[in-house]
Chains A and B, each alone.
Chain A
Amino acid sequence: MIEVNHLTKQYGGVKAIDHVTFKVNKGEIVAFLGPNGAGKTTTMRIIAGFVPATSGTAVIAGFDVFEKPLEVKRRIGYLPEIPPLYSDMTVSEYLTFVAKLKQVASKEISPAVENVLNKCNLVSVKTRLIKNLSKGFQQRAGLAQALIHNPEVLILDEPTVGLDPHQIIEIRDLILNLAGEHTIILSTHILQEATALCQRVLIINEGHIVAEDTPERLSANLRKSEKVNLVIRRGSDEMINEIKMIPDVINVIVQSKEGGDIWNVMAEYPVGSDLREEIARIIVQKGAGLLELKAQTLSLEDIFLKLTQEEPANLNHGGAA
């Protein structure tokens, strides 16, 4: 549905994005994840046809953004970071105007407006001036605007920014409901949002895509070793040594000793060899009182920090699928 090839955008001498390449299939929800200034907005603006790229191509629903901009724009709903609202209009006036702008046929304009008012929970405020609405309603009006012509592709730039937790959940539910019908690209710097909404994550940093995969696989690929955290009631050095003796164990570290005997221990072993059973057996045989055994998983947060802080070069092959 969306095919982006070596997209580059230069401002003066600075490259905002550099050879960005990715693909989004029909019906997929994909998240752009990256710190502020990474190039998320620039990429989305190019796909939406707001700014032209310096080089590279973007093809949406079979049409090239640069060669057939009007065809692409007919098929795209775009919610910019700041919702493009005319504050002096009422919500229905605004949506009617957008419907005309998006070339919805005259007869279908009022059903289309009704439809998005319902979808976005805006019925109760439809006669109010946009400038008098709360941030949450304004954001929903922005989303309604992107949906009004029932586009195949939705591009949402930070759709939940500035909302309270309740509103965030509402907007997320709305986006999840839209999945399947529409192909959605959204950008965010909130990690749990990407995990909650998207099948696939593109991590972008300093204008480069540094990783691209499902959140689960990203986590698996980036782990160099498996780690388990243990809490033991009656820890002893003897027992730690015995765990160290298990073949393949890389390292065992006593992290802390709470209130006398309760030890927090971290054991590390290579990816692929699951030694949790072995470790547990040793502790239980010693009668040391195994209180907790938990495998560490890399959260999206850790992945994100890893990818955006380390050298991008050695991570490129880690994620690109």
Chain B
Amino acid sequence: MRNIWTIAQKELRSYFYSPIAYVVLFIFLMVMGLLYSNIVAAVNQASMQMMRFQGGMGQFNPKEVIFRQSFGNMIIVLLLVMPLLTMRLFTEEKKMKTSELLFTSPITVFEIVFGKFLGALLLYLLMLVLTFYIPVLMASVTEISWKAVLSGYLGLLLCGGVFLAWGSLASSLTENQIISAVISFGFLLSLWIVGFMGQVFSDTPIGTLLSYLSLISHFENFTKGLIDTSDIAYAVGMIVLGLFVTYQVVDSQRWKS
């Protein structure tokens, strides 16, 4: 446990030693702020139009739309940002030859892999905490369902975990940060696209499988305020799978090096 924490701490710090953490945090928060104000403006306009032409709001629930849109946007921004957090996890160690220090220290490969994942996850947690001003801002002007907000954030945390686990895998495969980032974009987009493919093949067993593998369908439940154990199991399973393959790759590279 102490070893995992040593590695996690080092990773977390190195995000701040290099400007990566500041740049990613700044850009992420800026884009999220812009998107949020855009959604609020759009929803505002839509509800005014509805009131004028239909004389009422009917099924339209502006708060829910704002939440679901914001969470939906956040996950897309994360898809673009997360590979930047994971791209240097293993590439940098290999390139700077510091992997020789790690692998000759009394610490297991599992502890290295999990420690690095944990370090990235902690930075991600900080990113999420910093976006929390959005629901707080909304709560200051209207009543909101905190349960739905927390469920959405749980969804973000789990999805982010999946992104980071698969990003670690991408980073273990190469010595080049850019290649690593491109590979993880590929992984993350694939997790997205299998959902569309699932829709194309719907009603077949393959379609069901593809839809299950898709990240979107699981994430949408969280944004609706539904916490389903099968969604949690999916996310945890994907994290474990990503880290397990990373472990195998890192361990086998020592045989070749």
Q: Which A residues are within 8 Å of any B CB, using their own CB?
A: 11, 45, 48-52, 70-71, 73-74, 76, 78, 80, 82, 84-89, 93, 97-98, 100-103, 145
Contacts and interface: CB of A to CB of B under 8 A. Distances in A.
Given A51-B254, A52-B254, A145 B101 contact: yes
B98 interface: yes
The B contact surface, by secondary structure, is helix
A70 B101 contact: no
Contacts of B13: 93
A15 to B, nearest CB: 15
A263 to B, nearest CB: 57
A70 B106 contact: yes
Contacts of A86: 10, 14, 96, 98
A51 B108 contact: no
A102 B254 contact: no
B6 A97 contact: yes
A103 B14 contact: no
B17 A76 contact: no
Contacts of A76: 104
Contacts of A80: 97, 100-101
A82 B6 contact: no
16 contacts: A11-B256, A49-B103, A50-B104, A52-B254, A70-B106, A73-B104, A73-B106, A76-B104, A84-B100, A84-B101, A88-B17, A88-B18, A89-B14, A98-B101, A101-B107, A103-B2
A76 B106 CA distance: 9
B3 to A, nearest CB: 8
Nearest to A101: B105
Contacts of A52: 254-255
B102 interface: yes
A102 B100 contact: no
A71 B255 CA distance: 20
Interface in B47-102: 96-102
B17 A89 contact: yes
B5 to A, nearest CB: 9
Nearest to A83: B97
Contact of B105 (A11, A45, A73, A93): A73
B57 to A, nearest CB: 54
A54 to B, nearest CB: 9
B257 interface: yes
